[in-house]
Chains A and B, each alone.
Chain A
Amino acid sequence: MKTCIVRRGLPRIDAVPKVTGEARYTVDLKMPGMLIGKILRSPHPHARIRSIDVSAARELEGVLAVITAEDVPGTLFAFMQVMADKHILCTDKVRYVGDEVAAVAAVDDDTAEKAIGLIEVDYELLPPVLSVEDALKPDAPLVHEDKDSNLGFEVERLFGDPDKALAEADYVVEGTYVTHDLAHTCLEVSNCVVKWDKKDRVTVWTNTQAPHTQRQEVARLLGIPRANVRVISSYMGGGFGSKLVTDMKAPIAAVLSRITGRPVRIVNTRSEEFTTAKTRYPYTIHLKTGANKDGRIVVRDMTVIGDNGAYHDKGPATINFSAMMFGTLYNVPNIRAVGKLIYTNRQMGTAFRGFGNPQMAFATESQLDELAEKMGMDPLELRLRNANHAMETTSCGAEVCGCAMTECMEIAAERIGWKQKRNGANGTVLRGVGLANMVHTGGGGRFYGYNSTEAFIKLSDDGTVTLITSALDMGQGAHTAMAQIAAEELGVRLSDVIVLSNDTDLTPYDLGAWGSRATFMNGNAVFEAAREARLALIEAAAEMLEVPAADILVEEGQISVKGSDEKHAIAEIVDHSVNEHGWTISGTGRFVDKLPEGYTIKSAFAKNIPCFSFGTQAVEVEIDAETGQVHVLKVIAAHETGTTINQVMAEGQIEGSVVQGIGFALMERLISEEGRIVNDRFLDYKIPNIGDIPEIEAVCVESEGTKGPLGAKGIGEPGLVPTAPAIANAIYDAIGVRFHELPITREEVVKALREKRE
């Protein structure tokens, strides 16, 4: 396929505003009369609210509103309304340290802070449940007293006959793997400005990954028609899943705005971001894998216990998605996936890049190395024998179209020096290499019962192309990717394309930026819009030049006629068309990801995924036996991209994911004491800095067969999925210690080495 704009590593269209400080983020917005809102949060993990006294706060000069549960709609909310369990402001009980109890609006930050300090809440402390184990005890206190137990959600999926397969398999390994809670730590904290205007319209300026669904959520929370809510996002300082589901800041600010008649801003402090902005769901995974002597994996049986935190968010979807990826990887014939979510008096979890898949991959890919060892087989060989293939339908129903898994493995193994370095063969005792595979969606999912979107293009008489798309750019580069797809198909230069997005009054309904979805879904709609606009352009050119449309070529911003040297700028054609005839030139693109035959939301499971993306990471580590420090020396990250839309940005997605994966594996963890998170700042919650990164080689492996735009698939999340198990496997190769729990800290390594010596 010949391409002019895509594949190249062109600079992002928003690079200049970002590098000059011109780019305005939501947190930079200022409005006349704007008030500062602040939230009083629970200091206790579990307590009954006896009374709240706001009188002193109300009397403070500069305070314009103080609200409690009595002043806000009594809606119970959750991402899935059938699981609704959270109020805007707590009514009778608080369920985690950080739960919203009251809020104020004041003229400035200092006054708002002071007012918060003047609110007196009388709490009756209740015994908290601070771990999944405690929550499951028969006499455990209930996080939600209207429920029978702390079990928040349960699912079981069965394919084949795993019990029989486990009994008959030549080899079976079994183990428990534990992952922890992590913070997204977007550099721009979660924040919003809300204005409730005189026409009863609520405008929410916020950093969101999903403006249209957030609009519905805010309307639902406030009990007002959707038509009365408009969501506007700006340049956005990161998302990583943390900004998919609304939190209570938006409805609280809305109520404060209604009362005061002024726009109200609420901005998380960095501490609030660590303690209330939700976490990666911590998983405890009980896993069995069985294989036959020929190296074929015949069965996998997994039970995931997830810590839900105090309220429902994306937990059920996360558990389900983990199970889908679990079922798809290696096309294992017999699969059982059991998932449970347990309420605790802890910060709630939410989506986080990879959506449960990194947790699960840590278990499955660690265990695969344990299985290989038991079988006396090279772990790479075991993986090669079980690789997924293009055009297969797996036992759990996944329809794999393009698949470059084998190629990814070969590239990663070759470039890390697998043969030379494995089993301490590199001569250094405390060095090792390991690898891990992954599968992930490369195009979102049909989880809502549909997966579709729309885009519009118009050409102006100066040759400018305006693209209206719902593709949400949280920093990953979706706008640039969309502009490249439009420019490629239209035959214009990238600099001719202007992207308009991020306002629900302007953009078509869309599910948002998650599940590595934008390139595939929004990209397909943009491609269709560009195709339609191109046809309109050709028609206009044929009329103007008085030649058959079939003879018109559009390339690099110019129109030419077959068999002639004549060239016309696109602007010339559009100008003629618009100003001579009044014919405007535009295109509408709609992409509806076709549901498989017999699809139902309940039964679909892996058939929810329109496009799979495979990848392999190979890692070399060195261990310092004295300090326990794991130095990741090198990461080869080979990931399938279909057709790479932007080489540099795709590498950037992989590199950024790998470094988040290193944080997940070795460094990051929210630490709680009696339900209170104590490391609520960057000094204590250490994310990788520039000195912590290894040599990273991101390899975009192109493959055919996907239905993405120009053959592309998403690459936003995959790079984080296999990093932790690849590191754990490399550590095992280096020192012969198998870690079943993340993060693998220096203390744990030192302890393990000591135990091994004894």
Chain B
Amino acid sequence: MKRELHLTVNGVSYHRLIDTHRTLLEVIRDEIGLTGTKNGCGQGECGACTVLLDGEPVNSCMVLAHEADGHDVVTIEGLADGAVLHPVQRAFVETGAIQCGFCTPGMVLSAKALLDRNPDPTRQEILDGLKGNLCRCTGYVKIIEAVQAASCLLDEEEAS
């Protein structure tokens, strides 16, 4: 059964007729056409589909699209300001925290959400904040470095 759905994704309003059993992930990828959000398992266990729902990181494969009706979604495509990368993205690029890149969108958004909550996380807080995002390539070492570097970049941005 289809129902009307209003979503704001990366600041753009979308109005669609969507089946009630569709997930937010399916709508973002298949209806809106933003494929930066990845489907790694479809079971809420890998974090690749992480988006920010009203600023909070969620596994979009575990959210029914209609649960997000009227809410604000940020996907990886919404993070950079034109060609200027968000400090978290810049940190991931510069520290070498990206290999295959399939976990990267979810990892970056979880990291952003963590830094929004806690601008200066300890190593343990970084580990706790990113436990829901699996990566099979990097061994996480440079992802931890990236979050630490992003924290510094955000500090600098605030100071300037």
Contacts and interface: CB of A to CB of B under 8 A. Distances in A.
A652 B138 contact: yes
A16 B86 CA distance: 11
A682 B139 contact: no
A690 B137 CA distance: 12
A500 B87 CA distance: 29
Contact of A187 (B93, B136, B142): B136
B18 to A, nearest CB: 14
A656 B99 contact: yes
A235 B139 contact: no
A19 B104 contact: yes
B40 interface: yes
The B interface, classified by DSSP as helix, strand, loop or mixed, is: loop
Contacts of A12: 93, 96, 98
A23 interface: yes
Contact of A657 (B89, B94, B139): B139
A21 B76 contact: yes
A428 to B, nearest CB: 21
A718 to B, nearest CB: 14
B136 A681 contact: no
Contacts of A16: 85, 93
Contacts of A475: 99-102, 137
Contacts of A18: 98, 101, 104
Interface stretch (A24-32, A46-54, A220-228): A24-32
Contacts of B99: 238, 475-477, 652, 656
A652 B142 contact: yes
Contacts of A477: 99
B143 interface: yes
A696 B138 CA distance: 12
A186 B102 CA distance: 9
Contacts of A24: 35
Contacts of A189: 40
Interface stretch (B64-72, B125-133, B151-159): B125-133
A137 B95 CA distance: 54
A19 B34 contact: no
A427 interface: no
Contacts, number: 167
B103 A187 contact: yes
B102 A238 contact: yes
A267 to B, nearest CB: 9
A691 B131 CA distance: 6
Interface size grouping (class) on chain A: 35 or more
Contacts of B130: 690
Contacts of A184: 136
Contact of B101 (A237, A269, A651, A683): A237
Q: From A14, A18, A269, A648, name the one whose CB has the most chain B CB atoms within 10 angstroms.
A: A18
B4 interface: no
A338 to B, nearest CB: 33
A187 B77 contact: no
A660 B135 CA distance: 10
Nearest to B19: A110
Interface size grouping (class) on chain B: 35 or more
A270 B102 CA distance: 14
A623 interface: no
B154 to A, nearest CB: 16
A15 interface: yes
Q: From A16, A184, A476, name the one whose CB has the most chain B CB atoms within 10 angstroms.
A: A16
A236 interface: yes
A671 interface: no
A235 B131 CA distance: 25
A688 B139 CA distance: 8
A20 B76 contact: yes
A187 B139 contact: no
A658 B136 CA distance: 11
Contacts of B104: 18-19
B35 A21 contact: yes
A22 interface: yes
A240 B36 CA distance: 23
Contact of A240 (B38, B79, B102, B136): B136
B58 interface: no
B101 A693 contact: no
Contact of B80 (A20, A238, A657, A688): A20
Q: From B37, B96, B100, name the one whose CB has the most chain A CB atoms within 10 angstroms.
A: B100
Interface in B114-134: 126-128, 130-134
B135 to A, nearest CB: 7
Contacts of B41: 270, 681-682
Contacts of A537: none
A18 B95 CA distance: 14
A236 B99 CA distance: 10
Given A687-B134, A690-B144, A21 B77 contact: yes
Q: From A186, A187, A477, A688, name the one whose CB has the most chain B CB atoms within 10 angstroms.
A: A187
A214 B80 CA distance: 37
Q: From B45, B102, B127, B142, name the one whose CB has the most chain A CB atoms within 10 angstroms.
A: B102
Nearest to B100: A475
A63 interface: no
A25 B35 CA distance: 9
B136 A682 contact: no
B48 interface: yes
A66 B22 CA distance: 26
Q: From A269, A474, A682, name the one whose CB has the most chain B CB atoms within 10 angstroms.
A: A682
Contacts of A20: 36, 76-77, 79-80, 85, 89
Nearest to A236: B100
Contact of A682 (B45, B92, B93, B95): B45
Given A237-B100, A237-B101, A238-B100, A11 B141 contact: no
B140 A659 contact: yes
Contacts of B96: 9, 11-12, 648-649, 651-652
Given A20-B77, A270-B41, A655 B139 contact: yes
B131 A656 contact: no
A748 interface: no
A188 B102 contact: yes
Contact of A235 (B92, B95, B101): B101
Given A25-B35, A186-B100, 7 more contacts: A15-B93, A18-B101, A19-B105, A21-B37, A474-B100, A660-B136, A687-B136
Interface of A: 9, 11-12, 14-25, 27-28, 184-189, 235-238, 240, 269-270, 474-477, 648-649, 651-652, 655-660, 681-683, 687-691, 693, 696, 698
23 contacts: A12-B93, A15-B93, A16-B85, A18-B101, A19-B92, A19-B93, A20-B77, A21-B36, A21-B77, A24-B35, A186-B136, A237-B38, A238-B100, A240-B136, A651-B141, A652-B142, A656-B139, A657-B139, A660-B139, A682-B134, A688-B140, A690-B144, A693-B139
Lowest 10 CB-CB distances: which A-B pairs, in order?
A21-B36, A475-B100, A18-B101, A237-B102, A659-B139, A655-B139, A21-B76, A648-B96, A682-B45, A187-B102
